[in-house]
Amino acid sequence: MPDSYQVGVIGARGHTGAELMRILGAHPQVEVALAGSRELAGQPVPSIDALEYESIGPDEVTTRHLDALFLALPDGVGGPWTDAVSTDTVIVDISADHRFDDEWVYGLPELHRDKIAGARRIANPGCYATALQLAIAPFVDWIEASPTVFGVSGYSGAGTTPSPRNDPENLADNLIPYRLTGHNHEREGIRYLGHPIRFMPHVHPVFRGLLVTVHMPLAAPTTVGAAHAEMAQMYDNEPLVNVQEDIPTLRDGTGLTGVIIGGTTVTEDGLGLTVVAVEDNLLKGAAVQAVQNLNLALGIPETSGIL
């Protein structure tokens, strides 16, 4: 194993790209050799000494001999980089472009760790998809009908391109529902959990943080104690998943490296189970998970540079 791996980030200016640069800059086994951003070209990268942002195209990236490349780009624009870069180079794509592509590995380590190890093409999950899958996964065999997921996130999840969902004036004292059917993250949950899900996302006037409240109809009655024990057993050895008894709040997830799942509640007849999961949409929902995937792909300890 090399002492240090050469990595690059395309889309280093965005919210997720900036978090990636900060994490990678402190990673003990990684050297950031490329920070791609047309808008900031020539300016110094704040979190990494002696590195400047570059305006760079796919063909030039291939001359850099990188061990890994992160694509922190909007959906639908990363194709030229994935086409150009050698299949020996690890690509972690944070967009939605390859989450439904069988030629790419879906990078949710807690559920797909064995497939990610050694992979060279990894599709980072969506932020909501991460939280809702981790909340539902312990109970997939218990569920009778579609779980209902109510989600709320900060407006950083809407990216940097101006829209009503990241406009502070529009968000002030407001809660905005959007894409109430067929959301990509709903489709991810359905595909990788193998079970129907109904997901309703909302954005509110904070910058970051994410919360999902998940209600699951069950085939047989359960208790709070049994449900909590099932979650705790599944995630007992997961360094980035914390199972607790109390209901976590959105603020608890803000700035958090991992995910908190808690607030286990059961209906009077035992046939309805509710849990709450919180995370930071830019961290475990994006950049932290991307680095977790990089570590697994390269054979580095999974939490290196994260914990």
Which neighbouring-strand residues pair with 153?
203, 210
Rounded Cα distance, 8 and 17, in Å? 11
Burial 74-102 (b: 16+ CB within 10 A, else e): eeeebeebbeebeeebbbbbbbbbbbeee
Catalytic residue, candidates 10, 18, 127, 261: 127
Helices (H), 101-200: 109-116, 127-136, 168-171, 184-193
Containing 259, the helix (H) or strand (E) segment is: strand 259-266
State the angle between helix axes of 288-298 and 15-25 in degrees (0 to 180), rounded to the nearest 10: 50
* Cβ atoms < 10 Å from Cβ of 259: 28
Active site residue 127: yes
Task: Give catalytic residues, as residue numbers.
Answer: 127
